[in-house]
Every structure is written in C-alpha cells, then in structure tokens.
Structure 1
Amino acid sequence: MKTGRLEAFSDGVLAIVITIMVLEMKVPEGSSFEALKPIIPKFLSYLLSFIYLGIFWNNHHHLFQAIEKINGKVLWANLALLFSLSLTPFTTAWMGENNFEKYPVMLYGANLLLSAIIFAVLENTAVKHEGKNSVLGQALKNTAKEKLTIIVYLVALIATYFLPLLGIIGYTIVAIIWLIPDSRIEKQLK
C-alpha cells in the first residue's frame, strides 16, 4: 500500500484536534486587557500544545516522506498515534482551566509520554516493514533523541508531583529539543 491515504487522514485528524483545542478557549466578557488575564493559563496551555502538535505533524510528515509502502501494522500504529494526539485537547483544557495544578499537569505529561512512545512504535513498525537497510532504516539507526525524550518526560512527570512548574519546564525542554525538524530522514533522502 502507498502512504497517501494514511497521510491525508492523519492531516485531517490533526487539523480537527487543533480546531477542537482552540475552541476550548472561550472569549472573555469585557473589552479591557484586564479581561484577558483569566485566560492566560488557557492560552499558554494551548500554545504549548499547538507547538507539540506541530512537532508531531512535522515529524510524521518527514517519516512518511521516507516510507515507500505501508502494511496493516503501520496503519494500526499510526491510528494509535492519532488516538493519543486526539486526547491533547482534553489534557490541554484541563491543565489550563486549573492553572497548571499538579494532577492536570501530570495527566498532560502522561499524554505527551504516551504520544512519544507510540510515535517510537510507529517508527519501529515502519522500519521493520521497510527493512533496516532501507532509507528509513538507515535514517533511524540512532534513536538517542527518542530515548532522551522518554527519559525527560518520565523525570518531568515525577517532578510534577512535587512541583508542577518542573513538569512544565521538562515538557518545554522536550519541545525545544524537537522544535527543529528531525534532519536524520532529510539527510538520508538526499
């Protein structure tokens, strides 16, 4: 199977997820800048999540640039990723509504961790299908960035229990690590 339908479906799901997320931010009553103050936590939650969804979309796009063909396992791994990403509006809204309190920040981090693990599973599933000597297999030989991501998420989740700000800092660090698109695949495609 070719990747076109999977990519189009994934793009559509991510567009809907982002739309749902922004609709969670309600316009405040009042026309002064002071009226915006209560929605600052919601906006910051949205901003971080929007960046994360952009990172996942960008890396998903790069991944499927290198994949020649897919099978049922790749389809299911991709669907699992879309499921975990579809939870983002809920965890984002809960965190923003509750001013970054401990349990909402922990659930948000668990959502990010789940998405990262599933993305790694998607990569591994695609490499197994394409073969270790394929362009994708060669590009993803080094998975240090993925492993570091999971470690930082785990540390941030634990730290959140004691101080939620540490969790947010950890999640932001991971976003910064991945903000620059993953060049491993682009290098192999050249």
Structure 2
Amino acid sequence: MKKLKARLDAFSDAVIAIILTIMVLDLTPVLRDNLNDYLLLSKEIGVYIISFAFVANMWYQHATLFNEIDDMSYRIMLVDFLFLIPLSLTPPATNMMAENTTNITVMAYGLLVGITGACFRLLARSIIHFQYTDTSKMRQVYRKIFGQHNLIYVLLNGILIILAYFFPQIVLWFYLPYPLIYMLLSSRDRQQMYDVAQLTTDQRQQYLRLPRDRMKQFSRLVDASKPQTSVDPAGNQPSTNKPPLPQTVKPISWHDWLDQPIGSGSGVQATNAHSPNAEAIKEFRRAQWDEFQRQTKTQRAARDQAAEELERQQAAQKAAAKQAEREREREQDAKKEAAELAAKQREQDQEAEEDAAKLAAKNIERQAHAKKEAAKQEIKIQERQQKAKRKADRKDAKALVRQKKLAQKAKQYDSDDHEHQ
C-alpha cells in the first residue's frame, strides 16, 4: 500500500499541475495594441494570481498532510478524490469570474472555495483518524487545535460570499490573502499537532485540558528551543544536545519562520517515527513539556501567592475601610445627636417663647377685658347719674309747674279778694 500511496501523491500532484496549466492557458492574449485589451488582460492575470495562490496553497496543505503518513486507507483515497473534484473546477470558475465579474460569479467562486476547504478538512480528519488511535487522544487534540481556525475559515468565507452579492468587484480581491492566511495558520496548527504527537498519553491528556492561551505559550516554548542532534564519535547513535530551556519565551519572528525548513515548525524536521533521531526529539519534547508544567506550576504558585497577598491587602483595605466607616458612622451619630439636641433646645425655646407669647396675650386679653368691664361700669354709672339727673330735672320741672300753678292760684285768689273788697 505504500506504493499506492506514492502513486496517489503523484496523481494528486498531476491533477493540481494540470489545474494550474489550464488556468494560465485560459488567459486571453492581446493581439492588438489596445488599452482596453491590456486592461482586460491585467484583470485576468490578477484573477489568475488569486486562483493560483488558492490552488498552490491547497497543494502545499495536501503535500504536508500526506507527508505525515507512510500508508493510507480506502477512506483516505476516496476522500482525496472527493477533494480533487471541487478543486478541478477552479479553472472554469476563475475564467467566468475573470470574463464577467458579477455578484453571481464571485459568489460561485466563494462557494467553490468553501466546498474545497470543507473537503480538505474532511481529508485531514480522515488522515488523523488513520494515523492515531483513539487511546492517544490525538483526535481530540486535532479538534482542539484546528477547530477554532476551521471555524474562522468558514465564517470568513461566508462573510465574503454575502458581501459579494453587494460588492463583487471589491470582494474579489479579498480572496487573494485568504490562501496566505490559510497557509500560515494551518502550518502552525500542523506543527502543534506534530509537537503534541511527541508527548506521552498522559501529557496529551494534560494538553487537552489547557486553555488556548496556555497552548500558545507551550508552542512559543517549543519554537524558542531547538535541539541539535550530532553523531557520537564512538558509534552511529545520535546524541541530543539539549540547551537549557528559556525562562522567558519570545515568539518566533517572520524572518526566522521564512528561513526555517518547510514542515519543521520549530526547526525540527519530521523524521521517521522509529528512527533514533525521532526518539531523541520525543524525549526533548517531553522534557519541554515537563519544563512547561514546572513553569506553569511556578507561575500558578506565584499567581496564587500574589492572589493571596492581594486578598490580604484587600482584606486589610476592607478592614481599614470598615474602621473608617465606623468612625464616620460614629461622627455622623455624634453630629446627629448634637443636631437632635440643638433641635430639641430650639423646640423648647420655641415652646417657651410660645408660652410667653400666650401668657402675654392672655394678660393683654385680661387687661382689655378689665378695661371693658371698667368702661361698662363707668357707662352704667353715667347712665345711672343721667337717669338720676333726669329724674331730678323732672321733679324740679314738676315742682316748678306746681309753683307756677300755685302762683297763678294765688294771683287768682288775690284778684278775687280785690274784687270782693
């Protein structure tokens, strides 16, 4: 089956090479010096570069994926054929999009990219299931490492397909960086898979429990430490010079990543699983994991200690805050009591003033009443005096009338007497 696997690799490479050849043959040559024809050719070349980058990335992903296995299964062969079907439709999709860039053609191209990526992920999963057993936990590792980036690919392509309905001319050029992003992220994910494959089963189980930020820290630790193998002068067995693992890990630069061997990831080429060099790499990876775990425990202990110190500081701050709050409450209570006493004193003063005012009002009322009574008495006395005076005047008038009558009678008697004389 190894020979059949090699022939399947050659068949896939031939199909991909034909796809690229067909795409370049579809370019319309310029037969006359015409600016519009040259502009059309430039646009076709741009679309060709987009599709070339996509197909070349698929070839790279396919080559590195198949390089990890020495044999294959019927499932892998059938899924590989299934992957080549949508990939072989790239030339007509590219030609349609170059000749007539509309929302339909760009959306169809994006749909083709999505289907091809889905078939390739199905192929990668089949190879992972064939390469590793269930007990190795590598299937769960694959889902954890590749799962988030696979979701990013699907969402990104879905967004581009939706936007292509409204802005096809603009979205077309966003498919150019898509394969580059795919290649970079997939290369790192595949290197993580290779690094985790060197660990023991228990170490893989520990790896599965890591959050994503800790996974990235382990990858940076692996990238920063590169074991060098050499041949022992006494024999052919390689010896591994393990440099001290760094305490501070810096991520690998883009320049270093471009210059390192393809498929090495951290500078270590994947070798045969049964070779002495592979065993040395496994030992080094496991030592790195142990060092990573020690660093993690040290960092966790430091974090716990810092957390405890922070808790103590917070508890002291809370106690001080409570004490200050009690002091403020006591001060507020004292102020409140003083305010209440002042309010009570003011109330008492107001009550005393009101009582004095009431007493003064009563005295004024009594004096007014006394004056009224005196005035009434004086009026009554005056009335009595007036009545008495009127009675006396009446008596005097009556006496005067009687005297007048008597005087008249007397005059009358006198006149009568004179007459008789």
Q: Structure 2-normalised TM-score?
A: 0.42
Quick check: 1:140–1:184 contact (8 Å CA) kept in 2?
no
Structure number with bigger Rg: 2
Instruction: Please say if 1:102 is aligned against 2:121.
Output: no
1:56 is aligned, of 55, 58, 64, to 58
User: Post-superposition shift, 1:48?
Assistant: 0.2
- 1:14 aligned residue: 16
Identity value in percent: 25
- 5+ long unaligned stretches in structure 2: 195-269, 271-280, 282-421
Alpha-carbon distance between aligned partners in 1 of 2:109 and 2:44, rounded to the nearest angstrom = 13
Over 3 Å counting, the alpha-carbon distance change for 1:66 and 1:139 in structure 2 is farther
1:148 is aligned, of 147, 152, 170, to 152
- 1:117 aligned residue: 118
- 1:174 aligned residue: 178
Over 3 Å counting, the alpha-carbon distance change for 1:120 and 1:179 in structure 2 is closer
- 1:183 aligned residue: 188
Please provide the CA RMSD for this pair. 2.4
Quick check: 1:67–1:136 contact (8 Å CA) kept in 2?
no
Quick check: 1:152–1:170 contact (8 Å CA) kept in 2?
no
User: Post-superposition shift, 1:102?
Assistant: 0.7
- 1:36 aligned residue: 38
Greater RCO structure (CA 8 Å; 6+ sep): 1
Q: Deviations over 1:137-165 (max 9, x none)?
A: 85675112222111111111111112114
Alpha-carbon distance between aligned partners in 2 of 1:9 and 1:154, rounded to the nearest angstrom = 31
User: Post-superposition shift, 1:166?
Assistant: 4.9
- 1:71 aligned residue: 73
Question: Which amino acid counterpart does residue 97 of structure 1 have in structure 2?
Answer: E
Alpha-carbon distance between aligned partners in 1 of 2:183 and 2:118, rounded to the nearest angstrom = 18
User: Post-superposition shift, 1:183?
Assistant: 3.4
- 1:127 aligned residue: 128
Quick check: 2:23–2:95 contact (8 Å CA) kept in 1?
yes
Over 3 Å counting, the alpha-carbon distance change for 1:40 and 1:177 in structure 2 is same
- 1:90 aligned residue: 92
Alpha-carbon distance between aligned partners in 1 of 2:178 and 2:143, rounded to the nearest angstrom = 19
Q: How many residues align?
A: 189
Question: Which amino acid counterpart does residue 167 of structure 1 have in structure 2?
Answer: V
Over 3 Å counting, the alpha-carbon distance change for 1:137 and 1:11 in structure 2 is farther
User: Post-superposition shift, 1:40?
Assistant: 2.0
Over 3 Å counting, the alpha-carbon distance change for 1:29 and 1:136 in structure 2 is farther
Over 3 Å counting, the alpha-carbon distance change for 1:43 and 1:30 in structure 2 is same
Quick check: 2:128–2:139 contact (8 Å CA) kept in 1?
yes
Quick check: 1:109–1:156 contact (8 Å CA) kept in 2?
yes
User: Post-superposition shift, 1:87?
Assistant: 0.2
| 3-state secondary structure, aligned to 1:89 | helix
Quick check: 2:79–2:119 contact (8 Å CA) kept in 1?
yes
- Between stretches 5-14 and 32-41, larger displacement belongs to 32-41
Q: Deviations over 1:82-126 (max 9, x none)?
A: 11110000000000001x211110111111001000000001111
Alpha-carbon distance between aligned partners in 2 of 1:165 and 1:146, rounded to the nearest angstrom = 26
| 3-state secondary structure, aligned to 2:27 | coil
Question: Which amino acid counterpart does residue 23 of structure 1 have in structure 2?
Answer: L
| 3-state secondary structure, aligned to 1:70 | coil
- Between stretches 142-151 and 163-172, larger displacement belongs to 163-172
